[in-house]
Structure 1
């Protein structure tokens, strides 16, 4: 057709004799002129082929980028094993070719087809999905929680009811562990000249309602600037920290400040018991006067017996292994901010406590407050 047009035949005349339309013949002639160099207002056939090849490569690169983007989110849910890569190929094979997916993810196409022919059991699939949720809850706790609290998270947050031993097995397989506790250091210094209060608790760390028994103690936090000392007041009813104070010393005002915070926050009725060890701060005259003014009954355990104040020692052990031992504090102010965030942002409102049926102190108090009292039942009757 091109040669006939070049010999003088018009496209319209040729279209009457041959099937192609006149417009198609004009297009062929124009392309032939471009290829032969007779005109330069368009692309030659070779240039068009190269452009098409580049477009195919760009499309391929975009597909590879999309695959890698999806792979990042998909593989973070479990791990980077061939199993997880095969699962991603299976999920995306309707959108991308299997060969492309296998090449981008670094596995063989034959391996995928062999895997697809022998799919994992339902139990294995469930374990993979559970492991992803366990990883999520473990990370949300700051990598603090062990199997009991992860088990409670799965039950209450996700509505998943499985055995605790299965959670422990999956955590071991995934290399996930809770934190462990450190050995303590003595902060109780007894004033042998002081007259200590008698033990009103006698290791009975239970209370029927809030603000009946408080326990208190002091611990230290190492920083590059020196020790920061923390005094706390804990409500036995819910294990909630109701008062705390921090300072670079262990003088009596440290414990009186913690007590003042507890009184201001809880406003207890007269007669609440404040139980501590026989440290000089708690047996001082200043602390005794502060208790008397607030209607607080002081109580102290025996010297050198941590079990007489075990409930507060337990809180300090949790604080130390979940926060202090996992951080390096460059200054006391940095430590203060971290401890404040732990107590008021995590421990009181969110941290599950075994004594509360794996409820946080705040949630336990809230649920107990919603329960009808004996007087409510009597009034309803």
Structure 2
């Protein structure tokens, strides 16, 4: 024990000589050496504070928050800690600590809006339904199988969140969406009510084969005019639920099995799964009992109007 203490004392005494030797090797004065040493310690201390702030911010707003948003979030906290830090420097710190957000894999494209078919106006922007079968939203999502991608077309009632019609097959032809719409029309409970059909500007939904059939059956057509994540929020939320809660995101063996899984998933979703947005009722129950105030998925405070048709 005494030997260890003696060794520590000797090392402590030798530190000034080591620093002086280092200063001489780099051709700088002792004062400049200590100034650089102090600056380096301050830099390391500030970086530790920045890393702490980054962690707290991501725990609060999301673990996938990127560098640009982080910089905006942290501006005030950095000023309070008297830390001058540019965005490039923040990116370097994140990179050095392996905290940069990786780019997510590109999603499979299911919408082709580059066509010459007529595109309808948006009739439902910033508006919400007040009853079942007042507004239907449609979408196409992909299902992976061992023999390639399959595609699932959905027609959903925006008020009750009930999936009214669907079709899964190994193609994205117009017939896929048309068959889903035909099923939805057969499942209507209020056929005498006016109904808006809302979709993106994909070629399937703009195809005259589809639009003429919809209008012959009394549907008013509405389409997104520009990208807005809230305009098709109901369809996107249902896609995510079906995939992540009922196994449709997995690599399924073939189309036939995918169709059986989809049928079972949609039955559970419509008749058994209680929804927070429906006050813990099922979509089918709400569809038959028109007594629930509509809850929008929109997170901001923008005032929404009621549909009046």
Q: 1:266 and 1:367 mapped to 2: Cα distance?
A: 14
Q: Does structure 1 residue 322 correspond to structure 2 residue 239?
A: no
Q: 2:248 and 2:185 mapped to 1: Cα distance?
A: 30
Aligned equivalent of 2:132? 210
What 5-or-longer segments of structure 2 have no aligned partner? 1-104, 293-309
Q: Does structure 1 residue 192 correspond to structure 2 residue 115?
A: yes
> Aligned pair count?
187
What 5-or-longer segments of structure 1 have no aligned partner? 1-181, 371-381
Aligned Cα RMSD in Å?
Answer: 2.1
Return closer, same or farther for 1:185/1:326 CA change in 2, 3 Å cut-off. closer
Q: Which deviates more, 239-248 or 357-366?
A: 357-366
Given candidates 286, 294, 313, the residue that maps to 2:217 is 294
Q: TM-score, normalised by structure 1?
A: 0.46
Q: Does structure 1 residue 336 correspond to structure 2 residue 259?
A: yes
Q: 1:211 and 1:299 mapped to 2: Cα distance?
A: 14
Task: Note the 1:2-41 alignment, pairs <5 A.
Answer: none
Aligned equivalent of 1:45? none
> Does the 8 A contact of 1:270 with 1:296 survive in 2?
no
> Does the 8 A contact of 2:143 with 2:249 survive in 1?
no
Given candidates 243, 257, 280, the residue that maps to 2:203 is 280
Return closer, same or farther for 1:187/1:304 CA change in 2, 3 Å cut-off. farther
Q: Does structure 1 residue 351 correspond to structure 2 residue 273?
A: yes
Q: 1:303 and 1:279 mapped to 2: Cα distance?
A: 12
Q: TM-score, normalised by structure 2?
A: 0.56
Q: 1:322 and 1:185 mapped to 2: Cα distance?
A: 20
Q: 1:279 and 1:212 mapped to 2: Cα distance?
A: 22
SS of residue in 1 equivalent to 2:130: coil
Aligned equivalent of 2:175? 253
Q: 2:181 and 2:236 mapped to 1: Cα distance?
A: 17
> Does the 8 A contact of 2:248 with 2:258 survive in 1?
no
Deviations 1:231-266 (A, max 9, x none): 011111210001111111111111111111111110
> Does the 8 A contact of 2:132 with 2:290 survive in 1?
no
Return closer, same or farther for 1:303/1:188 CA change in 2, 3 Å cut-off. farther
Given candidates 296, 307, 322, the residue that maps to 2:230 is 307
Runs (4+) off by over 4 Å: none
SS of residue in 1 equivalent to 2:231: helix
Given candidates 187, 191, 196, the residue that maps to 1:265 is 187
Given candidates 142, 155, 164, the residue that maps to 1:220 is 142
SS of residue in 2 equivalent to 1:299: strand
When you count helix as a share of all residues, which structure comes out higher?
A: 1
Q: 1:329 and 1:203 mapped to 2: Cα distance?
A: 38
> Does the 8 A contact of 1:278 with 1:303 survive in 2?
no
> Does the 8 A contact of 1:270 with 1:295 survive in 2?
no
SS of residue in 2 equivalent to 1:291: helix
Deviations 1:42-100 (A, max 9, x none): xxxxxxxxxxxxxxxxxxxxxxxxxxxxxxxxxxxxxxxxxxxxxxxxxxxxxxxxxxx
Q: 2:281 and 2:107 mapped to 1: Cα distance?
A: 27
Q: 2:240 and 2:249 mapped to 1: Cα distance?
A: 13
Return closer, same or farther for 1:326/1:190 CA change in 2, 3 Å cut-off. closer
SS of residue in 2 equivalent to 1:231: strand
Q: 1:273 and 1:282 mapped to 2: Cα distance?
A: 14
